[in-house]
Amino acid sequence: MVVDDGCMVAGQRHEYDVSSQTGEIHGWSVRGGCSRPTLEEAPEYVRMRDDAQPRREGYLPRELRIKLYGDVVALRRGGLTYGGIVEEVRRRYGVRISKSHISYWIRGMHNPYNGRRIPSIELLKPSEELAYVIGVILGDGYTYMRRRSIKGYNHAWIGLKARDREFVEEFARCIAMVLGRKSMKPRYRNDVGRYVVETQSETLYELLRKPVELDRLKRYIEHCERCVAAFIRGFADSEGCVDKHGYIYIHNTDLRLLTYIKELLKRLNIESTDPKLHTRRGTVIRDPRTGKQYPRNKDCYRVYIRARSNTNF
């Protein structure tokens, strides 16, 4: 596939050679004597990549490939010839696709959904399970990227480590529902003294990698009352505790997040206190498993669920 960015001089153009099977950019060449373009002169979908460099491999954004794929299939079903599809796609996106590329897509040999259960954040559907996963990740859960030398093949992971097996199993069930895959069994790791479950998902990694963008998550959290309740449950399973008197507390170092939690609790008719400072930064804490002591890096806040709301909670 060749992408023409339209050099100003007639008969001269910069070309972006893209694999007809994977959408992989192999660099750009120059025809007609025009000087080699800088990275800033490249099309937006090339420049938007953090690692985009001239003469280096990369990938077209998956969202763009999905749009191209959908249009190609629809145009073919409408009776348009391969040549007509090439011109129509070029008119819409400024991208010229080879006929072989179209053939691969039409015959189902390749498509941009390959290798990714949910291709983009835009295709994530709000659900109780997703809200629960978000709540867990904002608490004890984690995300990380395992980078590889082959560009475009980095592995994005989302996971949870906890002592409570039932908690980890519920997280595994919910994330399996979100990704449409078989449920995973937690494994116990002696080196950390916890049950662990992890799975790969670039889409969930992009949505939930820390520091999270809380405003972007609200459409999934506040979708309905059941989603709000599922989010609170996931967050409380991670950060909540019950003392010997039966009082319920929720702790976190993010004051803004705890304030948001209080607002959501109020929507569910659950009364709670405002977030209050519980442990100051620099306070030495002891790991009960190893006996090692560590200074706390951040102030820790907590909200208290009022006793008369314990039943609702």
Q: How far apart are the first and last CA of the chain?
A: 56
The values of phi and psi at residue 124, to 5°, are -70, 130
What are the residues whose beta carbons fall under 8 Å from the beta carbon of 283, sequence distance 6 or more? 295, 296
Provide the token pair at 104: 């691969």
Average pLDDT across the chain, whole number: 78
pLDDT tens, residue by residue, 91-112: 988 888 888 888 888 887 777 7
pTM: 0.65
Distance (Å) of CA 21 to CA 17, 82, 97, 106, 234: 12, 16, 11, 12, 40
- 243-313: CATH number: 3.10.28.10
Strand pairing category for 2-4 and 240-242: unpaired
Choose among 32, 27, 39: nearest CA to 13. 32
What are the residues whose beta carbons fall under 8 Å from the beta carbon of 299, sequence distance 6 or more? 253, 255, 277, 279, 280, 281
Instruction: Say if residue 43's pLDDT is above 80.
Output: no
pLDDT of residue 256: 93
Instruction: Say if residue 168's pLDDT is above 90.
Output: yes
pLDDT tens, residue by residue, 295-311: 888 889 999 887 666 66
Choose among 220, 180, 194: nearest CA to 142. 194
Instruction: Say if residue 121's pLDDT is above 90.
Output: no
pLDDT of residue 181: 82
pLDDT band at 219 (very low <50, low <70, confident <90, very high): very high
**Mean pLDDT computed over 35-40:** 42
99-106 vs 82-93: helix crossing angle, rounded to 10? 100
pLDDT tens, residue by residue, 233-292: 999 999 988 887 778 889 999 999 999 999 999 999 888 889 999 888 888 888 777 778
pLDDT tens, residue by residue, 174-195: 999 998 888 889 999 998 889 9
Residue 59 CA to residue 65 CA, distance in Å, equals 10
Q: Is 37 exposed, middle or buried (0-12, 13-18, 19+ CB in 10 A)?
A: middle
Instruction: Say if residue 72's pLDDT is above 50.
Output: yes
**Mean pLDDT computed over 208-217:** 89
Distance (Å) of CA 102 to CA 38, 45, 81, 99, 243: 30, 20, 10, 5, 63
Residue 136 CA to residue 42 CA, distance in Å, equals 40
Specify the CATH superfamily of domain 118-216.
Homing endonucleases (3.10.28.10)
Q: On the CB side of 262, how many CA atoms lie within 13 Å of its CA? A: 19
pLDDT of residue 3: 37
Please say whether the beta carbons of 283 and 295 come within 8 A.
yes
Share of the chain above pLDDT 70, in %: 73
Q: Which of 63-77, 117-131, 144-158, 175-189 has the lowest mean pLDDT?
A: 144-158
Element (H, E) at 238: helix 225-239
Residue 183 CA to residue 186 CA, distance in Å, equals 10
Choose among 226, 298, 224, 302: nearest CA to 261. 302
Distance (Å) of CA 249 to CA 211, 271, 277: 23, 12, 12
Dihedral sign for Cα atoms in the order 218, 122, 52, 34: negative
Residue 91 CA to residue 12 CA, distance in Å, equals 19
Instruction: Say if residue 7's pLDDT is above 50.
Output: no
pLDDT of residue 105: 85
Instruction: Say if residue 23's pLDDT is above 60.
Output: no
Residues of the chain with CATH 3.10.28.10: 118-216, 243-313
When mean pLDDT is compared over 10-24, 28-42, 133-147, the highest value belongs to 133-147
